[in-house]
């Protein structure tokens, strides 16, 4: 196979450039004298030719015009060649004037200089464009033509156009779309700029393969409307990554990515109280339990920005802890400790407390999978309740400033063991706050997009495998939040909390999972029912169709942050709840699931099982 990536030696490029100049000089003389050069000019021609070649050689060498990789020629390279030739032409004119002053003879007629400049410019630029086109065709002989529309008509769009043209000469950009009225009707690189109102017509009238969003910082509503139009007319929807992700500051066509469902479910950026959070975190020792999980690891990433004295990441999983260690090693904040340890191991945790003396704890360690915990209640209680109790008790014992527990919307009127175990942990933490110097704070939110166990990775894998997509029920809905957004709100709530609060986050509108699955299939360029099937498997044990967050005026109190509320929930007296939880924990040794669940239902009367064997206990 031919190696098309090998570059031609620079010396060969220089010789070809000089040969083009040689031809241009001869052509200039022929054109100037109508292909009948007088004898007097023929005598001076070798001298004139030598001067032309010498001047051009000097300008080529001094500017290194031959050093660029010809197959990657761009507009700026063409402009550079033009300017180099102009400088040489000025030098030739100056030489001719000086020669005439001393010898009273015009060695090179001005018309010759002008014609040579034009011919050399055309020749050198044509040579570069020919090499670029030939290389593109040889490298991609079977490349198919694509019709594209680019959203955005700024500097990023011009860079995108250049990257696309470098990748393939067969890419045809039909139009640029922009909301800026001042740009409408103008052109960039000879491509017309249209308003957004014209996009649907352009998609309908042309078979557009890709709609590419080149504009940076497009809001989520606009992104969704563009995606809907692209899906409607069978076009792929793609985006240009942020400038900081370009390789060495240069965009490659290979970096243009398909938009995924996570980017279409994002919401407006959260405004954090950065100064207040920084004051609380700066110079402190911060613990994160479950720190290698999706939530815990993102909390760690965000905490780094607030310059804590030390971050202690605790997790029982060796492999995920190793992976987060590799990832965070790229940050300048080097003072991070990784502890392999189980929150249910009291001796191990107390040793860590003595060694690392935490100021603030983010408790994210938990079992979260509803069906698994429904079949394993003792493990749900052992981790979610007993593990939380150990860390909370030690936080109280060693006078930790703040303890922020990460909870779930499934703790609201729980219908499954997992949700009930988290509610029991909430109750214990909240009651402990009343007798402790430590501020115990709970944060509660719904499903997190892209987290371990989320439907997004599951559906993605099923689509990649050709289907089918498995859905428990066609009417099931869930609240969703991205991992960064959830963790930002955890930091914000933790900073605002004084102790005893259960903070509820505004999760926005609930999402119908069937619609989510269909959109994921469409974004993959496939069709539901034709390329991918959706099958229904029935509700799993403990699962409910709709989830709730108590996020309404009757059940919550507002805070200064519009996305954070305080839940109004029943409070428990510490000694009573501590005794009740001890009874539940003692039942773990007997491994009698019915007795365990029955006792939890006595403590939490709103716990009503659904689609579960424990319904008989209600």
Of 144-153, 283-292, 358-367, least confident by mean pLDDT is: 144-153
What single-letter DSSP state applies at residue 233? T
The pLDDT, as a whole number, for residue 328 is 85
Mean pLDDT of 132-161: 71
Q: Residue 75's pLDDT is what?
A: 59
The 10s digit of each residue's pLDDT in 368-420 is 888 899 999 999 999 999 999 999 999 999 999 999 999 988 888 888 999 99
Partners of 480 in the β-ladder: 447
pLDDT given at position 288: 95
pLDDT bucket at 1, cuts 50 / 70 / 90: very low
Distance CA 501, CA 568 (A): 9
Q: What is the pLDDT of residues 350-365, one digit of tens each?
A: 999 999 999 999 999 9
For the cut 70, the answer to whether the pLDDT of residue 456 exceeds it is yes
Nearest Cα residue to 24 out of 123, 128, 97: 123
| Residues of the chain above pLDDT 90, percent | 24
pLDDT band for 238, please (50, 70, 90 cuts).
Answer: confident
Q: In which element (H, E) is residue 470 found?
A: strand 469-471
Q: Report how far residue 411's alpha carbon sits from residue 446's, in angstroms, rounded to the nearest whole number.
A: 10
Rounded CA-CA distance 110/28 in Å is 11
The percent of residues in the chain predicted with pLDDT above 70, rounded, is 86
pLDDT band of residue 70 (cuts 50, 70, 90) is very low
Query: CB neighbours (10 Å) of residue 334?
Result: 7
Tell which residue, 200, 206, 174, 168, has the closest CA to residue 187. 174
In our burial notation (b when 16+ CB lie closer than 10 A, e otherwise), range 445-471 reads bbbbbbbeebbbeebbebbeeebebeb
At 512, the pLDDT band (50, 70, 90 cuts) reads confident
Predicted confidence at residue 67, as pLDDT, reads 59
Question: β-strands 556-558, 564-567: how paired?
Answer: antiparallel
Q: Is 338 left (phi over 0), alpha (psi -120 to 50) or beta?
A: beta
Taking a C-beta distance cutoff of 8 angstroms, is the pair 452, 294 a contact?
A: yes
Average pLDDT, whole number, for the chain?
82
Residues paired with 250 in a beta bridge: 247
DSSP label of 80: H
Query: Both tokens of residue 496?
Result: 């605002």
Q: Is 595 a catalytic residue?
A: no
Distance CA 108, CA 47 (A): 9
Q: Which residue in 197, 395, 129 sits closest to 287, CA to CA?
A: 395
Q: What is the structure's pLDDT at 139?
A: 58
Give 532-563 pLDDT, tens digit per residue. 888 888 887 777 777 665 544 447 777 777 77
Element (H, E) at 597: helix 593-603
Q: What are the Cα distances from residue 336, in Å, to 32, 310, 312, 314, 356?
A: 77, 6, 6, 11, 11
* Of 542, 446, 540, 561, the residue nearest 497 (C-alpha): 561
pLDDT of residue 191: 83
Whole-number Å distance between alpha carbons of 182 and 189: 17
Q: Phi-psi bin for 611: left (phi > 0), alpha (psi -120 to 50), beta?
A: left
Q: In this structure, how many other beta carbons lie within 10 angstroms of the beta carbon of residue 4?
A: 12
Question: Which DSSP string corresponds to 332-361?
Answer: S---EEEEE--TT-HHHHHHHHHHH--SEE
Asked if pLDDT for residue 272 goes beyond 80, the answer is no
pLDDT value of position 551:
40
Peptide bond connecting 468 to the previous residue in cis, omega within 30 degrees of 0: yes
Task: Identify which has the larger pLDDT, 227 or 452.
Answer: 227
How far apart are the C-alpha atoms of 144 and 161, rounded to whole Å? 17
Higher pLDDT, 524 or 441: 441
Q: Which range, 32-46, 155-169, 593-607, has the best average confidence (pLDDT)?
A: 593-607
- Has residue 74 got a pLDDT over 60? no
Mean per-residue pLDDT for 47-73? Answer: 72
Calpha distance 118→336 (Å, rounded): 64
In the predicted model, is pLDDT for residue 3 greater than 50? no
Better-predicted residue by pLDDT, 158 or 31: 31
DSSP track, 24-54? HHHHHHHHHTTT---HHHHHHHHHHHHHHHH
449 pLDDT higher than 70:
no
> Which is more confidently placed, 64 or 222?
222
Q: What does each C-alpha distance from 154 to 79, 186, 225 come to in angstroms?
A: 21, 12, 20
Domains and CATH numbers, the chain: 10-139 (no CATH), 146-259 (3.40.50.720), 274-447+481-507+549-617 (3.40.50.720)
Residue 56 CB partners (closer than 8 Å, separation 6+): 17, 18, 21, 85, 88, 120
Dist. CA 152–CA 156, nearest whole Å = 8
DSSP structural state of residue 146 = E
- Is the Cβ–Cβ distance between 424 and 603 less than 8 Å? yes
Q: Which residue has the higher pLDDT, 33 or 65?
A: 33
pLDDT band at 138; cut points 50, 70, 90 = low
User: Which pLDDT score, from 0 to 100, does residue 357 have?
Assistant: 92
pLDDT at 73: 47
Burial 384-404 (b: 16+ CB within 10 A, else e): bbbbbbbbbbbbbeeebebbb
> What is the pTM assigned to this prediction?
0.67
Of residues 223, 284, 402, 410, which has the active-site annotation?
410
């Amino acid at each position: 196979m031919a190696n098309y990536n090998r570059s031609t030696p620079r010396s060969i490029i220089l010789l070809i450039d000089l040969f083009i100049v040689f031809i241009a000089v001869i052509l200039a003389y022929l054109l100037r004298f109508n292909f009948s050069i007088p004898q007097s000019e023929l005598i001076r021609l070798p001298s004139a030719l030598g001067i032309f070649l010498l001047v051009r050689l000097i300008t080529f060498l001094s500017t290194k015009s031959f050093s660029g990789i010809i197959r990657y020629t761009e507009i700026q390279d063409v402009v550079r060649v033009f300017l180099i030739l102009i400088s040489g032409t000025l030098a030739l004119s100056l030489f001719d004037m000086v020669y005439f002053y001393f010898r009273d003879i015009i060695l090179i007629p001005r018309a010759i200089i002008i014609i040579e400049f034009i011919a050399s410019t055309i020749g050198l630029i044509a040579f570069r464009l020919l090499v670029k086109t030939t290389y593109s065709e040889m490298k991609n002989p079977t490349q198919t033509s694509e019709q594209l529309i680019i959203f955005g008509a700024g500097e990023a769009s011009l860079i995108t156009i250049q990257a696309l043209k470098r990748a393939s000469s067969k890419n045809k950009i039909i139009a640029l779309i922009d909301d800026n009225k001042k740009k409408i009707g103008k052109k960039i690189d000879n491509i017309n700029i249209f308003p957004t109102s014209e996009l649907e017509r352009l998609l309908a009238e042309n078979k557009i393969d890709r709609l590419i969003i080149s504009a940076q910082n497009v809001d989520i509503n606009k992104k969704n409307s563009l995606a809907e139009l692209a899906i409607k007319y069978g076009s792929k929807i793609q985006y240009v990554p942020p400038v900081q992700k370009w390789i060495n500051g240069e965009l490659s066509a290979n970096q243009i990515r398909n938009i995924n469902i996570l980017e279409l479910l994002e919401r407006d950026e959260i405004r954090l109280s950065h100064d207040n959070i920084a004051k609380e975190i700066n110079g402190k020792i911060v613990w994160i339990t479950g720190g290698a999980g999706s939530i815990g690891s993102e909390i760690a990433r965000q905490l780094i920005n607030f310059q804590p004295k030390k971050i202690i990441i605790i997790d029982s999983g060796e492999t995920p802890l190793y992976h987060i260690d590799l990832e965070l090693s790229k940050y300048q904040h080097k003072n991070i400790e990784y502890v392999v340890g189980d929150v249910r191991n009291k001796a191990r945790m107390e040793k860590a407390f003595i060694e690392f003396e935490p100021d603030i704890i983010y408790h994210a360690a938990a079992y979260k999978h509803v069906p698994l915990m429904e079949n394993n209640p003792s493990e749900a209680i052992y981790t979610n309740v007993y593990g939380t109790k150990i860390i909370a008790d030690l936080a109280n014992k060693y006078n930790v400033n703040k303890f922020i527990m990460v909870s779930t919307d499934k703790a609201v009127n729980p219908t499954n063991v997992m949700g009930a175990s988290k509610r029991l942990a909430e109750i214990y933490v909240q009651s402990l706050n009343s007798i402790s110097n430590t501020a115990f704070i709970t944060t509660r939110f719904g499903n997190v997009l892209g987290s371990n166990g989320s439907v997004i990775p599951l559906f993605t894998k099923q689509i990649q495998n050709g289907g089918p997509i498995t859905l428990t029920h066609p009417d099931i809905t869930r609240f969703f939040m991205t991992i960064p957004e959830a963790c930002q709100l955890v930091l914000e709530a933790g900073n605002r909390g004084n102790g005893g609060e259960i903070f509820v986050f505004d999760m926005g509108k609930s999402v119908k999972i069937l619609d989510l699955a269909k959109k994921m299939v469409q974004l993959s360029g496939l069709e539901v029912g034709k390329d991918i099937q959706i099958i229904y498997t029935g509700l799993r044990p403990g699962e409910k169709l709709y989830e709730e967050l108590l996020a309404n005026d009757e059940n919550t109190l507002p805070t200064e942050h519009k996305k954070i509320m305080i839940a109004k929930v029943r409070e428990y007296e510490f000694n009573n709840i501590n005794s009740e939880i001890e009874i539940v924990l003692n039942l773990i040794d007997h491994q009698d699931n019915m007795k365990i669940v029955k006792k939890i239902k006595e403590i939490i009367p709103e716990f009503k099982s659904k689609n579960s064997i424990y319904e008989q206990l209600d």
